[in-house]
Structure 1
Amino acid sequence: MAVLAGCSGSDRPAGPAPSASATVTLSAPAVAAERPQARAVALSHLPANLRARVPRFAPPPPAAPKVKLPADGTAGWFSRIPTDQKVAFITIDDGWVKHPLAQRLLEAADVPVTLFLEADAIRSDPQYFAKLQSAGATIENHTISHPNLKGRSYAAQKHEICGGADQLATHYGRRPVLFRPPFGSYDHTTLRASHDCGMKAAFFWKETTNKGKVRFQEGSAVKPGDIILMHFRDRFPDDFLAVLQAIHRAGLTPARLEDYLP
């Protein structure tokens, strides 16, 4: 079943997001020796019905990047990463809904994920995403206010893309280098503005999930190199576990998207 829609208004709260912003203090991610213990602790704190649904993955293989980025002043554009390795990539967009179990689930799964965060969406609680960063997530760029960029002027697109990256850098101590355009909608200007804002590449997806159901653009199984889209929504546990199970059924392992870019 092909699914082309990305983020929608249903991911946003009914009221306006608070405008206050604060720089957060990050704690260091767990070192390798601590990770099995951290996973066990996180699993023990999950409700039993969720704990039983968390698959166990072997560590991902050392990344063997094959991506070649454009040399024409534009960012790359990918919905699947070219690779022969048995890996897939979990990406999570927006940030309006801050489910209390997200950190435990990331720690229990012990897999890398990439968060494409909207600056407006994270302002109400930037520390929430700092905790996910400490749990192993990498934070990347999804604009300031989530407009449809396609057809807008270079200046307007650059404002949203550069501004989103700048604000996330202030919060999380690292300026993003990857970008997802809202709704997956883009044009040549988007890729040019992305490049000029320091983004190496921008991303679509091959699978998406909502309400615990994974939907496929091609076929009925996750394929090596697929980029999977989910969102911070009310049913985050069901969506995240559905993605993990789909990857596991395909005989793949979640890997870090950033590791496969030059």
Structure 2
Amino acid sequence: MLSDRHTSRRLLLVAAGMSLLGVAGCRGSQGADGGSAAPGAEAAGAASDAPAAAPASGPSAASAPPTASAPPTSPAPSAAPSVPPSAAPSAAVASGSPVAAPRKVSAAESKPVYELDAERKVVALTIDDGPDPRHTPTVLALLEQYRIRATFFLIGENAVEHPDLVREIAARGHHIANHTWTHPDLRSLSDAKIRDELERTSDLLNKATGKPPTWFRAPGGDWSTVSLKIAADLGMRNMAWSVDPRDWARPGTAVITDRILKDVRPGAIVLNHDGGGDRSQTVAALKTYLPVLIDSGYYFTAPPG
């Protein structure tokens, strides 16, 4: 009788142990859905409970910038209303990666544009030869003050030295355009050298801002048949000007101001400079003539692509 009790007790203990082993084995080999769990699934599950890492910046993480409006069929573009610059850089600008390919430019569109719609009291303010760490920040602050959107024609060798300024110009809502790499007289260069001057600058500005430039200006306004064609091949129209105060020669703040106020008219494209030397006279002139034009009923725009 005693022997039978011991035997029964041993059988109960063995059965209990087998039952416990079976439960443990099921817990270790099944996933949350009851299927077989792959090796490392438990570690992955633990990791999923941790806060998600912030996505890396780049083209896949950045929101695409607004698509440029289609160019008008006429060589002279219509002016878009001035928009207040934004102080916060877009994700595309911050990423510093190209997000768009150059667009097609027809032969008619490749002709230099000298003015906007003369039926509207609008002015296109263009700033050449930067970026320059001495004067560009002051110009940007002034444009921000008057809520003016301008077009900056940047020289590649300056842009590569000051990439933060390039991104700041774009982040504030201004239009960035190509002004060659070294500011040469294009009429004296070979076809290959002209292409290098333009293409190298466009590539840099594309990578810095996330958008390929859509406007080109030949240094000194000295276009050639070859430069017009190459600019069009790279997706750029050509912008000239109708008001030139010759501020690059530093004739004096009063002279720069008087020349602009005398020559400006509806649809004018005004040429100024923030790089290439001491541009303190230009900055002082901007402070004087911008409020005068605004009070006269003019508004400012960056021509559409």
TM-score norm. by structure 1 comes to 0.66
Letter in 2 for 1:141: N
Q: Mapping of 1:216-255 within 5 angstroms?
A: 216=259, 220-233=262-275, 234-235=279-280, 236-245=282-291, 247-248=293-294, 250-255=296-301
SS of 1:159 mapped into structure 2: helix
Letter in 2 for 1:255: T
Q: Unmatched 5+ residue regions in structure 2?
A: 1-57, 64-68, 76-104
Letter in 2 for 1:159: D
1:94 aligned residue: 129
1:205 aligned residue: 241
Change (3 A) 1:66 1:101: same
Partner Cα distance (2:226, 2:259) in 1: 28
Q: Using CA pairs below 8 Å that are at least 6 residues apart, which structure has the higher relative contact order?
A: 1
Higher strand content, 1 or 2: 1
Partner Cα distance (1:215, 1:187) in 2: 32
> Whose Rg is larger?
2
RMSD: 3.0
2:74 aligned residue: 68
SS of 1:72 mapped into structure 2: coil
Deviates more, 1:130-139 or 1:187-196: 130-139
Over the matched positions of the two proteins, sequence identity in percent amounts to 25
Offset of residue 101 of structure 1:
2.3
Q: Mapping of 1:49-68 within 5 angstroms?
A: 68=74
Q: Unmatched 5+ residue regions in structure 1?
A: 1-23, 29-62
SS of 2:119 mapped into structure 1: coil
Partner Cα distance (2:73, 2:299) in 1: 19
Change (3 A) 1:108 1:160: same
Please say if residues 131 and 165 of structure 2, whose CA atoms lie closer than 8 Å, have aligned partners that are also in contact: no
1:120 aligned residue: 157
TM-score norm. by structure 2 comes to 0.57
SS of 1:229 mapped into structure 2: strand
Higher helix content, 1 or 2: 2
What number of residue pairs does the alignment pair up? 198
Offset of residue 82 of structure 1:
3.4
SS of 1:92 mapped into structure 2: strand
